Copies of this chain bind each other. A is one copy, B any other.
Amino acid sequence: MISLQNDYSEGAHPRILALLTQTNLEQSAGYGEDAYCLQAASHIQQHLNAPQAAIHFVSGGTQSNTVIIKSVLRPHEAVIAAQSGHIAVHETGAIEATGHKVITMPVANSGKLTPEAVMTAVKTHTDEHMVKPRMVYISQTTEIGSVYSVAELRALRACCDDLGLYLHIDGARLGAALAANSELSLAIMAEVADVFYIGGTKNGALLGEAIVIVNPDLQADFRYGMKQHGALLAKGRILGLQFVGLFAEQVFFECAHHAHEQAMALADGLRDLGCGFLTAPQSNQIFPILPNAVISALQQKFTFYHWQDIHDSDSAVRLVTSWATEPANIKEFLRVTAELLRK
């Protein structure tokens, strides 16, 4: 079976694994106070144009979102997210478990939260009988693979400034976004966000996300929140070291571009076969629409998610590429699909 199911099916990029192996017997300080964590932070820093930013490493995305939101909000404050937002749907109530409501707003097909939706959320929360919106959460790329443009990000930033809101960007797939739109950069993220994280797990690392706290008001005592949430690893250096690999050696960008190219090749090939898409392919998650019979046949050889029924005979599926996707597998997928569609 060939997996196009997600971008975390394999282990780490070989250069990352090599780094772990080379340094394995070095003795270092625990809990993220080692030299590699410092070095990784410094490499990331060079991309940010935000010398005041604080950088911390944790092991996963849910942990990132939870520690950040819990650290920033007071008990009665809430975070605004798209109805399809990861924190709203797929984190088993992690944010609510820290006491905070996630205010969900409907989004159009784009999967993107708009300034208008944010404004509506704020306007409809008028007094102390309701929670107080205080933070906006978006995912870049979104849960359906769409990418906020620089203009869209700046518009959200302006909206947050107007309304006194913080902006947090979930970058579990930030690499994919950067690969998809060359106007985007880590510096743009640091410009628009109060806090964001750079996903390593889905882009070349075994595990690990780098949290970037741009706004100095949100930096105090962050390590306390990490420790309290079980997010300070004893061997913290294994996170720092992976980010050294990702950013000192550019593995992060290489991985993301590889995944992007494979996804675009897949999308182009499917388009040539006459496929439509649920949403325009933009990044490493694409959503082609195929006849159900073709889908069933494909599932004999490939694993991927059935996403949504379109009508009786067709469905949209989700295909995901990663740093490890082999071009031969993309070709094979297209070949088999072409054959099935011909029948």
Contact = CB atoms under 8 A, between A and B. Distances in A.
Interface of A: 1-3, 6, 8-12, 14, 17, 20-21, 23-31, 59-64, 66, 70-71, 74-76, 78, 89-94, 96-102, 104, 128-132, 201-202, 206-207, 221, 223-235, 237-238, 324
Contacts of A226: 128
A17 B20 contact: yes
Given A71-B75, A202-B234, A228 B97 contact: yes
Contacts of A29: 9
Contact of A92 (B27, B94, B130, B202): B130
Contacts of A224: 76, 92, 128, 131-132
Contacts of A25: 10-11, 324
Contact of A94 (B2, B230, B238): B230
A325 to B, nearest CB: 10
25 contacts: A8-B234, A10-B24, A11-B25, A62-B229, A75-B98, A76-B93, A76-B225, A76-B228, A90-B129, A90-B130, A91-B228, A91-B230, A93-B131, A93-B228, A94-B227, A104-B104, A128-B224, A128-B227, A128-B232, A129-B227, A132-B221, A202-B234, A207-B234, A230-B230, A230-B231
A235 B8 contact: yes
Nearest to A3: B27
Contacts of A93: 76, 78, 99-101, 131, 228
Contact of A97 (B6, B99, B132, B233): B99
A186 to B, nearest CB: 22
Q: How many copies does the complex hold?
A: 4
Contacts of A128: 92, 221, 223-224, 226-227, 232
B234 A94 contact: no
A92 B10 contact: no
Given A9-B30, A11-B20, A11-B24, A94 B235 contact: no
B227 A229 contact: no
Contacts of A9: 27-30
Contacts of A100: 93, 96
Contacts of A238: 11, 206-207
A23 B6 contact: no
B8 A23 contact: no
Contact of A235 (B11, B98, B237): B11
B235 A66 contact: no
A76 B96 contact: no
Contact of A228 (B17, B21, B75, B201): B75
Nearest to A30: B8
Contacts of A130: 89-90, 92
A92 B228 contact: yes
Of the listed residues A27, A59, A74, A128, the one surrounded by the most CB atoms of chain B closer than 10 A to its CB is: A27
Contacts of A97: 75-76, 98-99, 228-229
